[in-house]
Amino acid sequence: MDKVDEAQVAGELKLNARSIIRGRIFATSVLAVAIVFFIYDLAVDMLLEGEFGSPHFVIEFIVFVGVSVALGLNVRDIRRLRVRLFWEERRNLSLSGALAETIDDQMEEWRLTRSEKDVAWLIIKGYRFSEIAQARGVKESTPRLQATSVYAKAGVSGRAEFVAEIFQPLLMTMPGRSLQGNQAPAVATEPP
């Protein structure tokens, strides 16, 4: 199985989450700079210009308090986002490992060879035969033949049935989302 693709997808998701956090950190930094400015301005107004209690001073103080509250909320949100990201990454790693293990068990039950498993994983990921051949450094006919063998061992006739055969047992165990029992959806038939 090609671990590079899995790492790439996981990396892209992590990069997206991290970019959101970076954006929040930037906004928090801007608020921190504004707070430093307001502290300086309030100190100058109070100590050097004697404006303590004036409408100008009160308005700046209210804005200072508002910006300080916004800064505190942003810091809290960044911490929460980081914790959530950490737990989501752990949960995704656990779930993807369990899914891969379940699929591997099914492939073992079908007695697929190592090469057939590699081709099966690439089929599940949606690669075309030409891409599988290129990734494995073989002629396109090789993964086609291996796929035919995989389909035969799985008792299916093609790619779509194979992927459905892999995922149907997993989907049927989802609570509250599957059909009652193993009942198939009703299929409309033409009248005789």
Identify the residue with better confidence: 179 or 94. 94
Q: How confident is the model at residue 82 (pLDDT cuts 50, 70, 90)?
A: confident
CA 52 – CA 58 distance, rounded (Å):
8
Helix (H) or strand (E) holding 133, with range, is: helix 129-136
Question: Is a pLDDT exceeding 60 seen at residue 162?
Answer: yes
Comparing C-alpha atoms, which of 136, 125, 111 is closest to residue 159?
125
Whether pTM exceeds 0.85: no
Question: Is a pLDDT exceeding 70 seen at residue 99?
Answer: yes
Mean pLDDT of 46-58: 87
Could you tell me if 82 and 67 are in contact, meaning their C-beta atoms sit under 8 angstroms apart?
no
Tokens (6 digits) for 54? 């004036």
Could you tell me if 61 and 42 are in contact, meaning their C-beta atoms sit under 8 angstroms apart?
yes
What is the chain's mean pLDDT, rounded? 83
